[in-house]
Amino acid sequence: MQLLLTSAGISNPSIAAALESLLGKPVAESTALLIPTAVHPFPDGASMAWRAIRGEADSPLAGLGWKSVGVLELTALPTIRDESWMPAVREADALLVWGGDVLYLCDWMRRSGLAALLPSLESTVYVGVSAGSVAATSRNCDAEFDLRFVPDGSDMAAEAEQTLGLVDFALYPHLDRPGMEDATLPAIERWAAQAGVPTYAIDDQTAVVVADGAVEVVSEGTWRLLTP
């Protein structure tokens, strides 16, 4: 699996070029499945998911002009037969993993069976946005925030800092985005100091590309690599 881990989607030509390089063909000739699951815990989650599906969200992703786009809703998968959804995942050129609540997303990736399937998708491009990117890394930088949305009585809180670990580094998105005090560089540096793994702090014009084991940063903005 190749990964394109973004803060805010395909936000500039450099990231768009990186996406097509990973796909090995134009977006217009590629198929994708959008995973909107991570936004459901939020009060406005239903409309946020709809905007993402329609390609009307601020972070460009579903509306890039794909040959076809389907919706893969993780919360539905445990209730249907594997043969109803696994072939579509295996055949898709890209999985578009939307942002939201990292903890909720990781929990449903495991429950649905998608997490177990991901390592076998050798030619698939995993495209993450914000929480969708963090979920693929080795540590949840948003655990404290995500805990606010855990339902009473749920055991989900026990996994707050656990992500999928598809890569051996952490990622902190939205570097220096206005209005996000936890995303200033000093705040991220404090978090990274105790994370125990290298941490990429990236702004909304930056992406981290992981292809064939090699890591590359593609940016028209600002980023930092913070080591523990």
Q: Give the tens place of pLDDT for each residue, 188-210.
A: 999 999 999 999 999 999 999 99
pLDDT of residue 159: 76
Helix (H) or strand (E) holding 191: helix 185-193
- Place 146 in a pLDDT band, splitting at 50, 70 and 90: confident
> Is the pLDDT assigned to residue 89 strictly greater than 80?
yes
Sign, Cα dihedral of 172, 37, 50, 89: positive
Instruction: State the DSSP string of 38-84.
Output: GGTTSTTHHHHHHHHHHT-SSS-STTS--SEEEE--GGGGGGS-GGG
> Is the pLDDT assigned to residue 147 strictly greater than 80?
no
- Place 160 in a pLDDT band, splitting at 50, 70 and 90: confident
Q: How many residues does the chain have?
A: 228
- The rounded mean pLDDT for the chain is 94
- Place 142 in a pLDDT band, splitting at 50, 70 and 90: confident
With beta carbons less than 8 A apart as the criterion, state whether 7 and 210 touch. Answer: no
pTM: 0.95
- Place 58 in a pLDDT band, splitting at 50, 70 and 90: confident
Helix (H) or strand (E) holding 154: none
